[in-house]
Structure 1
Amino acid sequence: MEFRQLRYFLAVAEELHFGRAATRLDMAQPPLSRQIAGLEEALGVQLFDRSRSQIRLTQAGQVLQDHARQIMDRLDTARRETRLVGAGGAGRLRIAFVGSASHGPLPMLIKAYRATYPEVELALSALNNAELHRALITREIDIAVARPELKDEEFRRELLFREKLILALPEDSPLAAAETVRFADLSDQTFVLYPRRPRPSYADVVLGICEREGFKPAGLELTQDFQSAISLVSVGVGLSVVPESVSRTTRPGVIYRPYSGHNPGTGLTVHARLDNRAPQVLNFMETTRKFARAATAAAPVPAAG
């Protein structure tokens, strides 16, 4: 019994007329009659009671009709879902990101992707840069959102966003009274930086700013991730240098201030393996390109000085 025979059988069972069924199937009636006779012979049953005036389903034919409808419905569902996944409109996408990315444009990017591909299941997790690199190499994730980027020739990348750095201060810090803090005046402060390892890392970017401003921090506290660093700032251990977007989310015990001095800024970059051609991945990278382009176009133009 073949799918083609089931389709022919269902047409006859629904029309109860070989001529109309043949027209519906866009075929001649004699071949259709032969197909039904062959199906009955293969099953060893009579599917239709035939007379000159009409045909009717036998009890065996009614049973086959019920099963055939289910089979054809499941086949249609399988065809639709397979095509949808194959085009990237469904399936699963594993995205990992640095913790500070959740305060910037990443949530809006994910929202934009969901709006276009609502049937794709997203698995989200937070990792530091070293973990992102390893997970992408070992194919544990499909997309890595790093700050500022992962350096690997095997990755494709799209810059999502660039922003300035600002200070995260304990709310009772004497520096909180100033609207803008001179970075060069921070030589007596303890800096809470991340990650602890591997190095070099974002922590070394901040230490490079200190060196550029002519000092080494009086104290240095290294943590493994952004959330741990902000937690230590909130209890007064020291200050941290963080992306400006972090200030959009309030944290008890922490205030944010801009600073004057060397500010190299930081960025968020979306990565995927070059050899990962899954449509879900390619669609996400394309969404990132469009999102970043739109964000750049919408950014205010600085006033002429």
Structure 2
Amino acid sequence: MELKRLKYFVAVAEELHFGRAAARLEMAQPPLSRQIAQLESDLQVQLFDRSRSQIRLTQAGEVLLGHVRDILTRLDSAYRDTKLIGAGGAGRLRIAFVGSATHGPFPALVKSFRTHYPDVELALSSMNNAELRTALIQREIDIAVARPSLDDDDFRTATFHAEPLILALPDNSPLAQSEIVPFDALRDQTFIIYPRRPRPSFADHILDVCRTAGFTPADLIEAQDYQTAISLVSVGVGVALVPASVSEATRPGVFFRRYDGPNPGTALSVHARIDNRAPQVMNFFDLVRKNSKKSALRRGAKRA
């Protein structure tokens, strides 16, 4: 049974007049009458009572009209949903991120994506860089937000947010009395680095900063993530170098201070498999690029 023929039937059933139905369908009346007659022949039932003065639906016609309206409504809904998902306006997007990304502009990026694409379901999870790489390769996630990056030729990559490093000190440290701490004054301090594994990682980035300054930390404590590192700082175990955005959230027992010394900074980057061209992924990258341009303009305005 052709869908077009069912639409013809609905038009006649609603107009109860072949001439008006033909005008509504923008077709001639004779072929419309033939289509309805063919539908009745296919079903082997009479759908309309015809007379010179008017036509009426038979009981069989009334039953068919209810079902056909339901079919057409569901079909229209299926078309709309399919188009919406195909354009990235619905569906699902799986995003994993390093823990320190919860500070800075990443939460605002997620909120912006939700605003632009409210019908896309977001599945969010926290992972370290090694886990992010594995999850992307195995297609367990769609987007990875890493620090500083995941180097892989099979990944599409966009730098999202660059920032300086900042010093996290116990609030009872004499060094916390200075607004800017000389980095050389940290020679005898215990450095808390993270993650403990896998390596190389952000931990080695911090050790490179120390080597550039001309010393190796007197002692090292390895933490698995930055939350643990900050907790250890808060109880006086040692000091830590962290992304500047971490200082935006106050933490009891911790003072954040700028320092005078090597500061290569750090960055967040967004990654996806090159062969994953799902519209939800591409829309996320478009939003990343737009936000990065806005951030660059704001930084330029501040410098000016």
Q: TM-score, normalised by structure 1?
A: 0.96
What CA deviation, in whole Å up to 9, does each residue of 1:94-130 have, x standing for no partner?
Answer: 1111111110111111222222222111111111111
Determine whether 1:228 maps to 2:228.
Answer: yes
> Aligned with 1:191: secondary structure?
strand
**Separation in 2 of the partners of 1:43 and 1:225?**
69
- Amino acid aligned to 2:215: F
What CA deviation, in whole Å up to 9, does each residue of 1:212-264 have, x standing for no partner?
Answer: 11221122111221222122222222111100011111122222111110000
Of 202-211 and 41-50, more deviation after overlay is shown by: 41-50
Residue 102 of structure 1: aligned partner: 102
Structure 2 unaligned segments of length 5 or more: list them: none
Offset at residue 2 of structure 1 (A): 2.6
Residue 253 of structure 2: aligned partner: 253
Offset at residue 197 of structure 1 (A): 1.1
**Separation in 2 of the partners of 1:245 and 1:169?**
15
- Amino acid aligned to 1:205: H
**Separation in 2 of the partners of 1:255 and 1:65?**
73
> Aligned with 1:299: secondary structure?
helix
Residue 13 of structure 1: aligned partner: 13
RMSD: 1.4
**Separation in 1 of the partners of 2:84 and 2:196?**
43
Residue 299 of structure 2: aligned partner: 299
Please show how residues 275-290 of structure 1 align to structure 2 within 5 Å: 275-290=275-290
Residue 3 of structure 1: aligned partner: 3
Residue 171 of structure 2: aligned partner: 171
Identical residues among aligned pairs (%): 65
Residue 37 of structure 1: aligned partner: 37
Q: 1:302 to 1:83 in 2, by over 3 A?
A: closer
> Aligned with 1:258: secondary structure?
strand
Of 123-132 and 31-40, more deviation after overlay is shown by: 31-40
- Amino acid aligned to 1:88: G
Offset at residue 49 of structure 1 (A): 0.9
Offset at residue 301 of structure 1 (A): 4.7
Of 271-280 and 26-35, more deviation after overlay is shown by: 26-35
**Separation in 2 of the partners of 1:10 and 1:234?**
73
Offset at residue 303 of structure 1 (A): 5.7
- Amino acid aligned to 1:143: I
What CA deviation, in whole Å up to 9, does each residue of 1:131-150 have, x standing for no partner?
Answer: 11111111111111111111
**Separation in 2 of the partners of 1:299 and 1:292?**
11
Determine whether 1:60 maps to 2:28.
Answer: no
Offset at residue 65 of structure 1 (A): 1.0
**Separation in 1 of the partners of 2:172 and 2:63?**
79
**Separation in 1 of the partners of 2:215 and 2:268?**
28
**Separation in 1 of the partners of 2:240 and 2:204?**
13
Offset at residue 44 of structure 1 (A): 2.2
- Amino acid aligned to 1:87: A
Structure 1 unaligned segments of length 5 or more: list them: none
Paired residues in the alignment total 304
> Aligned with 2:286: secondary structure?
helix
**Separation in 2 of the partners of 1:92 and 1:64?**
37
> Aligned with 1:224: secondary structure?
coil
Residue 157 of structure 2: aligned partner: 157
> Aligned with 1:237: secondary structure?
coil
> Aligned with 1:140: secondary structure?
coil
Of 91-100 and 110-119, more deviation after overlay is shown by: 110-119
Determine whether 1:73 maps to 2:73.
Answer: yes
- Amino acid aligned to 1:269: S
**Separation in 1 of the partners of 2:99 and 2:264?**
20
**Separation in 1 of the partners of 2:86 and 2:289?**
21
**Separation in 2 of the partners of 1:48 and 1:282?**
52
What CA deviation, in whole Å up to 9, does each residue of 1:165-218 have, x standing for no partner?
Answer: 001112222221111111111121111111111111100010011111122112
> Aligned with 2:236: secondary structure?
coil
Determine whether 1:194 maps to 2:194.
Answer: yes
> Aligned with 2:91: secondary structure?
strand
Determine whether 1:113 maps to 2:113.
Answer: yes
Q: TM-score, normalised by structure 2?
A: 0.96
**Separation in 2 of the partners of 1:302 and 1:61?**
72
